[in-house]
Amino acid sequence: MKIKKIGVIYGGKSSEREISLKTGAVIAAALKKERYTVVLLDSAKKDFIKKLLSAKIDFAFIALHGPGGEDGTMQGLLEISGIPYSGSGVLASALSMNKIYSKRIFESNNILTPRWCVVSSAFYLLPSAFKFPVVVKPAQEGSAIGVTVVRKKPQFRKAVRNALKYNNEAIIEEYINGKEITVAVLGNSTLTPIEIVPKNEFYDFYSKYASGGSRHLIPARLPKNVVEKAGKIGLLAHSVLGCRAMSRVDMIVDKKNNIYVLEVNTIPGMTDTSLFPDAAKFDGIFFGRMLKKIIEFSVK
């Protein structure tokens, strides 16, 4: 299909709105340089659907993060409207966004993931099988929003309350001490894995988006066979969730080089500090060409 006019859907109402606005603006500017006609569409506006349908776009590039954009809802709207769009479909988006279901799928496919349990009340008692530290996170959020590393029992209830502010369920996850890495998937192959060295305790919101908040080491400081294995696991995690065109798979590699998959991001950030464009650039795929490849893989 011939694509001339692209609608970049950005903004939204989630707690990641600020980042989505930045991602959308960067994508729109790059697509214009690639000679597409581009219209920016903020999904938080009351007349969004009217503008979406009246814009008569050939393709929608979704630059939304978090609920309302990355969870299958926007994908469903575009499916009903008959508009081709970037990235994963409705089901894969919903499964990837929901850490409970994605973890169940990882486990059923023998993909190592940190031990976990679900909590829906701040009065929940941590099972005896878990020892501190643990990680507490909302079941459906991105950008490490609502995530706390709990090192001592007195901090636990506060961390659970914080996570439950964002969703009605939270995940308690064993803390894996190791190197944080991420594997970007583009089409049917992976890009060079990146090691993330955050300034803060873990790769939190500040580390992700603040200038100098983290260092991206490409390739990751790991043995060659571990790097290769991480790429294979990343592609497998992407595939078993039914993802397409692009994703970013976050992992922890422990001191014994065991690789734990944390989550799959179906709409990775595209800001100046984002990991996906860094991996693509390292592999010789500059931003505009990367976006064109995402479009190509999405409509195949």
* Phi, psi for 209 (deg, rounded to 5): -120, -15
209 annotated active-site: yes
DSSP state of 298: H
Q: Is cis: bond before 223, omega within 30 of 0?
A: no
- Reference 243, options 87, 108, 80; nearest CA is 87
**Contact, 179 vs 194, CB < 8 A?**
no
* Amino acid code (one letter) for 186: L
**Contact, 134 vs 155, CB < 8 A?**
no
269 annotated active-site: yes
Catalytic, out of 269, 274, 278, 298 = 269
| Strands 214-217 and 259-265, sheet pairing | unpaired
**Contact, 247 vs 96, CB < 8 A?**
yes
Catalytic, out of 20, 265, 274, 298 = 265
98 annotated active-site: no
**Tokens coding 259:** 């690789």
* Amino acid code (one letter) for 57: I
What is the sign, positive or negative, of the torsion defined by CA atoms of 182, 186, 192, 198?
A: negative
Catalytic, out of 14, 88, 93, 143 = 143
206 annotated active-site: no
71 annotated active-site: no
Catalytic, out of 250, 260, 274, 298 = 250
Catalytic, out of 10, 14, 15, 16 = 16
121 annotated active-site: no
16 annotated active-site: yes
What is the sign, positive or negative, of the torsion defined by CA atoms of 280, 194, 15, 67?
A: positive
242 annotated active-site: no
Q: Where are the beta strands (DSSP E) in 45-103?
A: 59-62
- Calpha distance 185→239 (Å, rounded): 10
Catalytic, out of 10, 166, 209, 260 = 209
Active site residues: 16, 143, 209, 248, 250, 263, 265, 269
